[in-house]
Structure formats: C-alpha cells, structure tokens
Structure 1
Amino acid sequence: MSVEVDVLLQEAKESIEAAQNYRSELQQRLHGLNQARKQIRGSSGQARETLRKHFAELQAAATRLLAERLANLLTEVDTIEADSIKPLDDCQSLIEHGVGQADELLREGEAALRCGLGEKEDKLGSFTKKAMHIQLDSLPEVPALVDVPCVSAQFDDSLLSLLRDRVARHGAVSSHPPVQIEELQERPGSILVRWCKVDEDFAAADYRLQYRRSGSGGSQYEDAYIGRESEFLVLHLDPHTDYLFRVCARGEGRTEWSPWSIPQTGYTTLAPHEWRSGTEGYILSSRKNIALRNDSSQSRCPVLYSKAPTYFCGQTLTFKISAAGQMDRRDSLGVCIDSESEEESLQRDQAVCISTNGAVFVNGKEMTNQLPAVTVGSAVTFDMEVVSLFPISNNNTSEGGNFKLRVTIGSGNREVVFDWLVDQPVDCLFFGCSFVHSGWKLLSSARFCSDGFCCL
C-alpha cells in the first residue's frame, strides 16, 4: 500500500510541476499577447495622430497657397485696371476742359449778339478772334471699346481634377514596415546590423539606418548609414551598453522615406580594438586604431601592442597599410599570447607574425612558405580557429606547446595555413607590430567569420 501511495505522490508532484511549467508558459504567452496588443494599439494611435497632423498642416498650407494666389491675381487685376483707366482719365480731363471752353465761348457769343449797336462790332470781333484760337474743328480721339482692356479671369479646370487624383493617392497606411532588422552581431566596440525587405512589392532604392542609446537617458536617434547595402557596421559603441536600432527605405524615384522598422536592441560585450598608448616611437590617432612609426633614431625597435587582448578566434584581424617606410627583416605584424614590453619584434616565442618582406614566423622560427611583400595599400589578414583544446601527444606541425590553433595569414592574393601549438588554452590574444624604420602607418580592424563565434 505504501508503494502505491509513493507512486501516486510522485505522480502528483510531477503533475504539479508540469502544471506550474504550463502556467508559466501560458503567462509568458499572455505577456507576449499583451505586448503585441500594446504595439498594435500604440502604433495605431501614433498613425492616427500622424495622419491628423499631416493633413491639418496640408490644409493650412493649401489655404495659405490659395490665399496667396488669389491676392496675386487680384493685384494683377488692380494693376491692369489702373494702367488702363489712366489714359481714359486724361482724355476725359481734356474733353471736360474743351466743354468748359465751348460753354464760355457760347456765353460770350450770345452776349455779343444781345449787345447794342454801339458796342456790337467790338464784341463780335473779340468773339470771332477767340473762337479762332480755340480751334473748334479739333476734337480729341476717344478709343473704341475693342481697343481698351476688358478684364476677365480664367481658370484651368484640370487643376481640381489633378488635385482630386493626387489627394486620392496621397499617403498610405500599412500594417508592417517594408523593411525589418534581421540580425544584430556584436563586434569589438561595434555592432553589425543586417536588415531585409519584408514587402517584396516595395522597390527599395536606398536604406537608412539610425541608432541611439537605450533607456530613459538615451539620446536622440542619429543617422548611421544611408545607401543601397543591406548591412552596416556601427562603430565606436560602448561595451555592455544597450543601443536601439531602426531602419527604413526609400522607393525608386521617391523622395520620402518609408515607416521605420520596429526598433531592435543590441549590445556588444567586446572592447574595441585599440593600440596601446605611450609606446616609444609611435603616434596614435584619436581613436587609437591607427598607428604611425614616427621616430627611428633610437637603436631600439619596440613592439607596439594592442591595449588589451581583444582578438578572439573566429575573427578576421586586418592590418591595412596606408603608408610605408624602408623595409627590414625585423619588421613584424601579428598576434601573440602576451605583451612582453622588452621584446623588439614579434618574431619570438608565443607569437605568429609576418615581416614586411613577406616572411612568416611561428614561435620565432621562419617558415619555408613566404607571402608577397607588404607595401602601401596592402591588407594583411589573420584568421584563427581552435583545432584542439586538449593536450596533443605528437608535435608534428610546429614546435611549441600542447594546444593547437589553425592560423591563416593572407597578404595580396596569397595565403598560408598552418597549425600553431601553444602551451595552454587562451580565450583572447594581443595583436602588435614593430618597424625598424619610420614612415609606416597602419590601421587595425576586425570582423567575425560567417559562421559566428568560435572562441577558445
């Protein structure tokens, strides 16, 4: 009987645990539904407000434009009227003056006819002389009606039709933005953002990526990229800090941007690649990712190391040469397990490197394979992957320790691949360089391989 009770008790416990898990899953789904409902209602409210505001502004602008056009047309009417009336007013003044003279002459003539015989001759002579001066046969010309303006207003009836057609197609409401962020991948001091179209009917000509710090103290969104690519590496981000990213698109032949995608949160845990400050004979850029060998007067050739061991397996580390000096076999570009400040080259133990003449060194020993010489414009790449984290009994690849890394070094159109044996497993590496002569200038950068992380 006790065995049956124990079995029932165990089944009851399992059922309770299953019910708890079931309830937890259901609650998570309810939370997801609430978030979805919140997004729908929130975005719908924002869309309504955007529509009302836009059309109110449009109405105000249209009213203002129509009022300005009406005022301009009325001004044109006033100008035509004033310019056309002035000659008529001048002609009227001339005619009225002539009528006045004629009235005065008539009064004098009638008076001369009524006067007595004694003074009739003088009056009539004076009247006749005055009449001759007035030139009674000269009349001013009055323009015919067809020769004076007849002001009218005309309208293009197609404007209303065009306006109706444009208004009917103005604006759009969509349930989803045409592009969405597809992936956020962390990089040293940066995040690689990839996006894709979700509306296949939307012909995108350009994309626009923005980002900002997340949280209540976050800044305003700022542009990170505008162009035709569907991915972009956003640089100079603080590690362990949340950032919000959003993207939109502009259609072919359009000037306006589409609605923004749903913001996605991303962050990087990786410190940015920086050169170490204070190394004698080197000048660094403000962001400490570019180094210049500026002083080779000293006999000593110090190694410039990275600020921290920020290179991980799975990354492609690239050295881009933007200026070159005189070559020397002691020159080196590469990675190492430690940052020995007393060393004068990476051609030493616990390091792999390439010299500017193309020679490859593993743990201080030169390989038989050689790469093209490093010159201005060269890009030297280092790729590493873990082959074994366990002690290796045989040592048939290269002398060293008991843990194996596969290294690929590329320069120009050639590359060498070899296994690097180290004494103990490491999770990160330093990178460094050394140049005997001044004039060398290089940029360090890194990206992840397509299959993601493969850290030690």
Structure 2
Amino acid sequence: MNEIITSTLKDANRHLNKLNEQNAILKKAIFEVEESAQNTIREIDAIFDKIKNQINNIIETKRNKLKENTKSIQIKSITPLKQCKKVIENEIVSTEKYILSGQHLLNTTDELYSAEFEEQSKKLGSLPAVPTIEEIPFISFQYDLNDLMVEFETRINNIGNISQIGPIQITQHLERPGGCLIEWSELEVDDNTSFDIQLYNLQRSYGDLTLNPELEVNFKDCYTGSNCFYLAKDMRCNDVYTFRVRCLTENSTIWSAWSRPYVVSTHLKPFMWSSVSTDYKLTNDNTIATKCSTHTAIIYSDSAQFYPNYSIEFTILESSEPSKFQCIGLIDKPIPEEKNIIRQGTFVLSTTGQLFVDGNEKLTQLPKLDKNSKVIFSSELMLPDKLRITVENQNKTVTYDWIVDDPEQPLYFAACMDGQPWKLLVE
C-alpha cells in the first residue's frame, strides 16, 4: 500500500512541477502583453503629440503669413490715400484762408489787394485726383474648410495601425565565437495568409530591452536584405543583446510591425590569434595579426575554435607580394617549428588564389589576395568522416569535401606569411 502511495505522490509532484512551469510561462506571457500594450500606448501618445505640435506649428506659421500679407496690402494700399488726404487737407486750409481774406476784402477799398484776390481765384477750380470707392482695395480672406477638413480627417485616420503581433519573429539563435547566428521566419497564421516579402530589417541593441524598455533608443540596423538569417559579430562574451526584425512586402513602402524583442548572449570568446609567435604583433584583442619579421612564419589560432557549421572571415588589412606558399585556412592541429601549412590535415588558400586540401592543389582557383580582400571559410558536417568546406573570395565560391579523422571536433585556423607588411583580421 505504501508503495502505491509513494508512486502516486511522485506522479503528483511531477504534475505539480509541470503546472508550476506552465503557470510561470503564463505569468511571463501576461506581463509581456501588459508591458507591450503600455509601451504601445506611450508610443501612440508620443507620436500624436508630435503630430499635434507639428500641425500647430504649421497652422501658426500659415496664420502669421496670412496676417503679414494682409498688413502688407494694407500698407501698400493706404499709403497713397494718406498722401492724397494730406494734399486735400492742405488745400482745405488754403481755401479757408482764401475765404477769410475775401470776407475781409468786402470791408475794404484796397484795389491792389482786390487784384491779388482775383488772381488767386483761378486756383479754385483745381482739385486733387481722388480714387473712386470702387478703386479702393477691400481686403478679404478666402478659404474652403469643407474640402480641407475632409482631407485632413482622412489623413489623420490613416495614421498607424495596431498589430497584435509582427508577421516575422526571431525563431532561434546559435552561439558563435564573438557573435550569434540569428534566424527568423514568417509567423504562421490560421487564415493561411502569406506575404510576398521583399526585404528583412534586423536591428540590435545592447542590453535586455524586456527589462529596460528605455534601451529602445539604442537600436541600430545590423542587416537589411532577403536572407532569413544573419551572423551578428562584435558581441562581447556574456554580455546581453536584444534583437528585433521586421519585413517589407511587395508593393508596400511601409515596414511591418517589429517582432517581439529577442534577448541573446554568447559565451564563446571571439576568434583570436595565439600570442605565442614573436613574428606577429597582435592588436584589437588578438583579432588582428601584423607580420613583423622578414622570414617565413606561421601563426595559429589561440585554440581549436572552429566547429562544424561555423563560418570564419579573414580580412586582409595590409598586403605584400603574394606567393603560392603564403596561405590562410583551417588545420587539424599546430606542428611546432613547421614552416609550411600546405600539408596533410590542412585546408588552405594561398595568397595567389590556389586551394590546397591535405597538401594537394585543386584545379579551381580563386582571385589573389590583396589589401581589403575578405575570405570566408564555411563548414557543414557530412557524417561519418567528412566536412564540406566552402571558400568565398570576391564573390567567387568553391566547395570541396574534406575527409578528417573526427569531423565533430573543432579545428584550428592559421596563416603562413614570409614577409612584411601582411596584416590579418579574423572574425
């Protein structure tokens, strides 16, 4: 009986643990819905406040311009009227004086004064030119509010939409040395709606946006293109980053809603060169190796860092005269005091473009390496004893299967140079 009770209690405890797990998931889900809703409300307020302020500024600018135009017409129109008025007022004063002198003349017999009065009378028939009432400006303001308000209302109503969830979501990430491979896909919906997606836009922000929403201002574009994945580089070990993605569909100029924030970190240190060799000077956290001796010397990676399904990129920052025996590539293990990495257990590309697998030169040749060249080695696990290695240089690609002892074990990378000033960046 006790055994039955004990077994039942174990089942009950397992059931309780699963219920608690589901409850924690639901708690997180409720928090996410509430938090995203509050963030959306804050964003709506911010956008519409901005629109309102800008519209108000536009209205005030237009109002002031119309008032200034009115004042300008007023001044332009009233200036000649005032000048004419001043002439008439002067004429009134002169005529009144003339009348007074005439009244005075009635009480005198001075013939000389009478002749002067008669001479001045000739000016009485002359009147200044005064515009008719029809010629005088009548300033007014014309407007059509009906069409304006209809158009304004239509445009305001077309501002923004609320999305329950973005159509593209980040699905997973794979840690890589000094970075993460971010993957995303189209969200499946019940009505079988599909989108003809033209572009994806991936952004990255330092820190955990789900805990610190104010970090949203730090988002920066890191990829725009048609692929559904991106290898994010330059990530510091154990630091947290947040990614989000959106899409642009055919015949649309408006990007979709963002995916939910996706928080990642990498625990793998970046690809770096070994500091053992004195023939190379290392900088930039040992990711850049500069040849500082004049004789042939090999530099290896700090450790076996290159696993199956990894990619590694070599950038030639400075170059010298290329040769067949100067190479970069992948090796199974370092050999002390060796002077040549074209041998069994290596997959290398020479600076002149020849490809060597296990010491054997292949027929396919890639462009030679010079300053600013970028060479990418990618691997794919092909059990039981093969790696499929793809090498890309200047948009030209070659792929070969490489038989190795244990394809699941990591490889070293290496470079062999025989002079200055070769300078290599590894990422």
TM-score range, shorter chain: 0.7 to 0.9
- Residue 356 of structure 2 is aligned with which of 353, 357, 360? 360
Structure 2 equivalent of residue 126 of structure 1: 116
Structure 1 equivalent of residue 302 of structure 2: 307
Structure 2 equivalent of residue 395 of structure 1: none
State the shift of 1:94 in Å: 0.8
Seen in structure 2, the aligned counterparts of structure 1 residues 318 and 54 have a Cα distance that, compared at 3 Å, is closer
Residue 131 (structure 2) pairs with residue 143 (structure 1): yes
Structure 2 equivalent of residue 98 of structure 1: 91
CA deviation map 1:122-168 (0-9, x unaligned): 33123123334xx2221111112222211010113321111111122
Instruction: Write the distance in 1 (CA, Å) between the matches of 2:157 and 2:380.
Output: 59
RMSD: 3.6
Residue 190 (structure 2) pairs with residue 211 (structure 1): no
Pairing of 1:165-176 with structure 2 (within 5 A): 165-176=154-165
State the shift of 1:282 in Å: 3.6
Structure 2 equivalent of residue 327 of structure 1: 323
Seen in structure 2, the aligned counterparts of structure 1 residues 98 and 201 have a Cα distance that, compared at 3 Å, is farther
State the shift of 1:274 in Å: 1.7
Pairing of 1:34-433 with structure 2 (within 5 A): 34-115=27-108, 119-132=109-122, 135-157=123-145, 158-198=147-187, 200=194, 207-214=201-208, 220=215, 221-229=218-226, 230-249=228-247, 258-277=256-275, 279-282=277-280, 286=284, 288-293=286-291, 295-296=293-294, 298=295, 301-317=296-312, 319=314, 323=319, 325-329=321-325, 331-347=326-342, 351=346, 353=348, 358=354, 360=356, 362=358, 366-367=359-360, 372=365, 375-376=368-369, 379=375, 381=377, 383=379, 385=381, 387=383, 406=387, 408=389, 415-421=399-405, 427-433=409-415
Structure 1 equivalent of residue 190 of structure 2: none
CA deviation map 1:380-416 (0-9, x unaligned): 746474756xxxxxxxxxxxxxxx5556575866555
- AA in 2 matched with 1:34: K
Instruction: Write the distance in 1 (CA, Å) between the matches of 2:213 and 2:9.
Output: 44
CA deviation map 1:10-45 (0-9, x unaligned): 332222111111122122222222222222222222
Deviates more, 1:210-219 or 1:24-33: 210-219
Seen in structure 2, the aligned counterparts of structure 1 residues 252 and 57 have a Cα distance that, compared at 3 Å, is farther
- AA in 1 matched with 2:139: V
Instruction: Write the distance in 2 (CA, Å) between the matches of 1:258 and 1:321.
Output: 38
Instruction: Write the distance in 2 (CA, Å) between the matches of 1:410 and 1:29.
Output: 46
Seen in structure 2, the aligned counterparts of structure 1 residues 405 and 269 have a Cα distance that, compared at 3 Å, is farther
SS at match of 1:145: coil
- Residue 12 of structure 2 is aligned with which of 19, 24, 46? 19
Q: Given that residues 202 and 243 in structure 2 are in contact (C-alpha distance below 8 angstroms), is that contact kept between their aligned partners in structure 1?
A: no
Matched residue count: 409
Instruction: Write the distance in 2 (CA, Å) between the matches of 1:278 and 1:218.
Output: 44
State the shift of 1:334 in Å: 3.7
Instruction: Write the distance in 1 (CA, Å) between the matches of 2:83 and 2:286.
Output: 85
- AA in 2 matched with 1:336: I
TM-score calculated relative to the size of structure 2:
0.81
- AA in 1 matched with 2:225: R
Looking at CA atoms only, which structure, 1 or 2, has the larger radius of gyration? 1
SS at match of 1:153: coil
Q: Given that residues 311 and 376 in structure 2 are in contact (C-alpha distance below 8 angstroms), is that contact kept between their aligned partners in structure 1?
A: no
State the shift of 1:81 in Å: 1.3
CA deviation map 1:33-89 (0-9, x unaligned): 222222222222222233234333433433333233222212221221122111111
Instruction: Write the distance in 1 (CA, Å) between the matches of 2:402 and 2:160.
Output: 60
Instruction: Write the distance in 2 (CA, Å) between the matches of 1:76 and 1:143.
Output: 23
Q: Given that residues 309 and 378 in structure 2 are in contact (C-alpha distance below 8 angstroms), is that contact kept between their aligned partners in structure 1?
A: no
State the shift of 1:205 in Å: 5.2
Instruction: Write the distance in 1 (CA, Å) between the matches of 2:388 and 2:198.
Output: 40
Structure 2 equivalent of residue 436 of structure 1: 418
- AA in 2 matched with 1:64: N
CA deviation map 1:277-334 (0-9, x unaligned): 46344455636445454642x4xx22111122211233345556674624254x4444
Instruction: Write the distance in 2 (CA, Å) between the matches of 1:255 and 1:137.
Output: 77
Instruction: Write the distance in 1 (CA, Å) between the matches of 2:112 and 2:399.
Output: 133
State the shift of 1:271 in Å: 2.1
TM-score calculated relative to the size of structure 1:
0.76
